[in-house]
Structure 1
Amino acid sequence: MDSRTRSYIKKKFKSYYNNFPLYLPHDFKDREWGFILLDEAFNAFMRRHKSFGSEGELHEYLTSMIPAHCYYSVAYYKYPSAANMSDKGWSGSDLIFDLDADHLPNAPNNYSEMLDNVKVETLRLYDFLTKDFGFSEDDIQIIFSGGRGYHIHITEDNIKDLDSNQRREVIDYLSAKGLNLSHLFHHKRFVPELQKDGDDLDLNINSGWRKRLNAYIISYLQDSLDSSNALEVLTSHKGIGERKASMIIDLCKDKKELNKIKEGNFNSLFNIDKNLILSIAEQGIEKIRLNIDEPVTADIKRLIRLPGSLHGGSGLKVIPLTYSQLKDFNPLVDAIVFNETPTLINIQTEQKFELNGMKFDLDVGIQEIPEFAAIYLMCRGVAEHES
C-alpha cells in the first residue's frame, strides 16, 4: 500500500469512527486492548497492553491513531495495561469460538461461497451450544469478523474460570475427537463390559451425540428408501450385499420396526448385519462434527476483534448478530459501510468479485468503481488509490 492509498484509507476510516457507534464488551475497563495501525499494518505490528477507563478514551484513540484492526482480550485482568502477562492478574475469560471459511473441508475459492459455507457452520455450532451445552440465547453473541468468518462469544459466568485444557475438551466434543463410537451403543457384543440384560442394540437418544447420530441414521435410512438406487446406496457399505440390502429395505418399511429405530432400538438392523449401523454412524460423525479453530478457544488470553470496528483487510464492518439475524445476514451487503461515490483506483491484478449486490469483473489498470468496492480492493492490497 503506497502513501497516497494509506492516506485515503485513513481519511475514510477516521470518518467512520467519528460517526458510527462501537459495541463495547461488558467490563471493558478490565480488558487488555490491542491495535494494528494503518501505518504499521504492512508489518502487522500490534500495539497491545492498552486499557481504557471510559468509552470516550477509546473513541479518542480510534479517531487519532486510526487502526486497521482493533482487538480486546477475552480475559479479564486486575491490571490489564501491565506490560508483562504475569503481572496482569488474570481473573477469568469468556469462551470464544472462531470459525474461518478457509479452514473448512473442501472450501471453495469464491469468497461469497466461502462465506455461505462458514455461515452454515456457525449456525450448526449455535445449535450444539444451545442443545448440547444448554446455553441460552442471552449467553451467546455471534460476531461477523469482517473477514472470512464468524466468532461466537460465551459470557456466562460459570465458564469464566475454565482453564485451557478444559476449553480443549469442549472443542474435542464439538469435533468428535476421541469419540468411541461403539460405546455410544449399549450392546454387550460391542461393549462386553456393559453386560446388559438381553441382547438389544440401542442408542440412548435423549441428548448429545447419541441423539444427533440417531437422527442421522434415521434420515439416512429414510433417504435410502426414498431414492431410486436404494440397493446401490446400502450395498456401498462393507458386508452388505443385495440380499441384506433388500432385508433392510423391507424392515424399514415396517412402521412398527421403524418406530423402534426412531426410539433408538437398532436390534433388528443389528441382526441383519452388526456393522451396518456403525458404518452409517461413522459417516454421520464426519458430517455432523464441527471444524473450529482450537487454539483460539483454548487460549484464555486471546485478543478478539471489536464489534463495530473495521477490518483493515477488507474494509468491512465487524458486526454483532443475534441468531435470528444471522439466518438472513449477507456480509457482502450488510457489512458495507462506505458509499457508492465513483472512485479511481489502479488495479494490480485482474479482479472478479461480488459486493453490495453488484458483480465486478475488472482488468488491470486504472478503473472507476464505487467507493465501497475501491476500499475493499485497496484494503486487500490489490489496488492503489488514484487522485
Structure 2
Amino acid sequence: MENASLDFAKSLFKDYYSSHPIAVDKVANREFGFGDFERKIKYRHYAFGSNADLNKFIVENVPPFISCSSSFYEYPAARPMEKKVWKGSEMVFDLDATDLKLPCQQVHGTSWVCSECLSGIKAEAIKLIEDFLVPDFGFEEKRLHINFSGNRGYHIRVADERVISLNSAERKQISDYITGNGINALSFFPSISERGAQLRGPRPTDGGWGGRIARGTINALNKGAGELALLGIEKKEARLLEKHRADIILGISVGNWDKVKISKKSQLWANLIKGMTVRQGDSIDKNVTDDTHHLLRVPDTLHGDTGLVSKTINSLKGLSEFEPMRDAIAMRAENIKVHVASSYKFTMGGQEFGPYKNEDVKLPGYAGIYLILKRVAYLVQ
C-alpha cells in the first residue's frame, strides 16, 4: 500500500514538473544531487549544461528530492571533490524549526510541523535578515535569495561578491558572529568584574551585538519578570528588575547599567547575555553556513516529505506575508481517499483538517499527499 501511495505521489510530482520548469542560476557550474523517498541525497556529482537539460532529466526521472551546490565549479561532475576545481560559493543559511526546541514539539515531536513551528522559524529568518545580514554586514536585500525549504524552515543564500571567495574558516567567523559563539560579558561590560565600579555597558543605539543586547534587555524588561526568567535570571532578581524597570531602561539608554543594586551582578548579566545568544542564534545550522560543498534544495522544486514547493520568496516583505501551508501548495485539489493512521490537526489551503486516528477520509489532493509523504497515511483505491 505504501508503494502504491508513493507511486501516486510521484505521478503528481511528474505533472508538476511537466508544467513548472525549474530555472537555476549559473546551472552549468553547480553540482546536483538527487534523492528518493528514503534518502534526500542518494546520488550526487551530476552536472547539466543548461536548464533545459536539467528539466529534461527531472521530468524523465521525477526525483522526490532535487538539490544543488551553493558552490560554483569548473568541472561540477568530477570526483573526488578537489577535481571539481572550486570557483567560489554563495553563503547559505539553513533555518529549521526543529532547532528552536519549541514547547509544541514536546507534544507532536519533530517529525510533525504545526503553525507555531512555522511562525517561529519565519520570525528567526526575518531576524537573521533584519538584525544581522542587512545592518551588520551591509548586504543588500536584492543580494539575499530567500526560499521556503518545503517542509519546516527557510534557506537564505547570500549572493554577494564579497562572500563568494570566502573559505570555510572565514565563513565560520561570520556564522560565529551571528550565533554569538564566544561572546562574553567582558566584551560589553569592561568593569563587570571590578568590585564597587560603576557598570558601564552598551546603549540601544550602538551597532552590532552591543546595541542588540541593550535593545533586547529593554524589550525583556518591558515584557516583565516572566520574560526575564526565560533569559536565565532567577525569579527574585527578575522581580526586582521589573520593579525598577523605568529607572533601569533610562540608565541603559545612556550606557549606565548600574541603576539598581543587585547581588551577584556579574553572574546576572553573564546569564542574560548567554540567554539572549541562544535565543538569537540556535536556529542557524552552522555546518551548512561553513561548508562550501553543501548541497541545498533547488528553489521551486517539490519536497519529498510534504509535496510542498520550496517556494522562492522575492523580498523581505514577501517573507513577512508568506504562509507555507497556503502559498507553497502545488498538488491539485481533487479529493482523494486516504487511510490515516494518526494525524494531528492541521490547516492547509485555508481549511482545517483532523485530527485523525485510524480512519478513512476524503481530502483535497494536496492534503492527502501531505499526509502520505509524512508517512501517516496511505492511498485507498
TM-score by length of 2: 0.85
Partner of 2:125: 122
Partner of 2:288: 296
The 1-side partners of 2:348 and 2:151 are apart by 13
State the structure with more CA Rg.
1
Within the alignment, does 1:380 sit opposite 2:380 as a pair?
no
Match of 1:342 among 335, 354, 363: 335
Partner of 2:217: 217
Partner of 2:307: 315
- Deviation of the 1:136 alpha carbon: 1.2
Partner of 1:49: 45
The 1-side partners of 2:223 and 2:118 are apart by 28
Match of 1:170 among 157, 168, 174: 174
Partner of 2:66: 70
- Deviation of the 1:43 alpha carbon: 5.3
The 2-side partners of 1:350 and 1:272 are apart by 50
Matches within 5 A, 1:238-387: 248=244, 251-252=247-248, 258=250, 261-269=252-260, 274-275=265-266, 277-278=269-270, 280-321=272-313, 322-350=315-343, 352-361=345-354, 362-387=356-381
- Deviation of the 1:283 alpha carbon: 4.3
1:23–1:306 CA contact under 8 A, matched in 2: no
SS at match of 1:42: coil
- Deviation of the 1:79 alpha carbon: 0.2
- Deviation of the 1:249 alpha carbon: 5.6
Deviation readout 1:236-266 (Å, 9 max, x if unpaired): 229x9x7x987x46845xxxx92x5313233
RMSD (CA atoms): 3.0
For 1:117, the aligned partner's letter is G
TM-score by length of 1: 0.83
For 1:18, the aligned partner's letter is S
Partner of 1:102: 98
- Deviation of the 1:168 alpha carbon: 2.1
Q: Cα distance 1:349–1:222, how it changes in 2: closer, same or farther (>3 A)?
A: closer
The 2-side partners of 1:159 and 1:171 are apart by 12
Of residues 356-365 and 83-92 in structure 1, the stretch that sits farther from structure 2 once superposed is: 356-365
The 2-side partners of 1:176 and 1:88 are apart by 34
SS at match of 1:376: helix
Deviation readout 1:26-81 (Å, 9 max, x if unpaired): 212100011114xxx33556221111111111111111000100101011100001
2:340–2:377 CA contact under 8 A, matched in 1: yes
Matches within 5 A, 1:162-201: 162-187=166-191, 190=193, 201=200
Q: Percent identity?
A: 29
Partner of 1:131: 135
Give 5+ residue unaligned stretches, structure 2.
228-232
Partner of 2:155: 151
The 2-side partners of 1:5 and 1:202 are apart by 60
Partner of 1:30: 29
SS at match of 1:134: coil
The 2-side partners of 1:98 and 1:43 are apart by 18
Partner of 1:11: 11
The 2-side partners of 1:235 and 1:345 are apart by 50
Give 5+ residue unaligned stretches, structure 1.
193-197, 228-232
Deviation readout 1:139-183 (Å, 9 max, x if unpaired): 211110001111110111111222222222222222212111122
For 2:26, the aligned partner's letter is D
2:6–2:373 CA contact under 8 A, matched in 1: no
For 1:82, the aligned partner's letter is A
- Deviation of the 1:269 alpha carbon: 4.5
Deviation readout 1:117-139 (Å, 9 max, x if unpaired): 11111111112111122111012
Deviation readout 1:206-243 (Å, 9 max, x if unpaired): 21110011112333445559x9xxxxx997229x9x7x
Partner of 1:195: none
